[in-house]
Amino acid sequence: MALVKNRTTNLSGESKINGTTVVSMSATLSTAGDSDYVNQQVHAPELYAANKREIRQDIAEFQNYVYEQQDAIAAEVAEDESAKTEETKVAGTDGAK
C-alpha cells in the first residue's frame, strides 16, 4: 500500500482598464500533471475591442506565469520521484542484509 499525494494550485489574474476588469484569467494546476486548466473570460467586450493589444499582453504575461508554475511543479514532482526511488533502493539494500 502506498500513499499517493496530489496538490492543486489555483492561479488568477485580471486585466483592468481604468479600474474595470476587462478579462479575468484563471488556471488550476495539479501535481498529477493530467488535469491542468487555463481559462479566460471577457467581462467588457467593448473595452477589450478597444484595447486588444494591451489586454493580449496581459493574457500572454499570465500564460507565461502559468508556464513558470507548471515547470516549478514538474521539477518538484521529479525531485519527489527521485527521492522515492532512492528510498526504495536503500530499503531494498537494508532488507537484503
Instruction: List pLDDT tens digits, range 38-68.
Output: 999 999 999 999 999 999 999 999 999 999 9
DSSP line for 33-83: SS--EEEEEES-HHHHHHTHHHHHHHHHHHHHHHHHHHHHHHHHHHHHHHH
Query: Cβ contacts of residue 25 below 8 Å, gap of 6+?
Result: 12, 13, 14, 15, 38, 39, 40, 41, 58, 59, 62
pTM: 0.80
Range of the domain at 54: 8-96
pLDDT at 13 over 90: yes
Q: Is residue 87 part of a domain?
A: yes
* pLDDT in the model for residue 89: 73
pLDDT, position 39: 97
pLDDT at 94: 56
Looking at the structure of the chain, the number of domains it has is 1
Please name the amino acid found at residue 2: A
Look at residue 89 and tell me if it is in a domain: yes
What pLDDT score does 87 carry? Answer: 67
Q: Confirm whether 1 is domain-assigned.
A: no
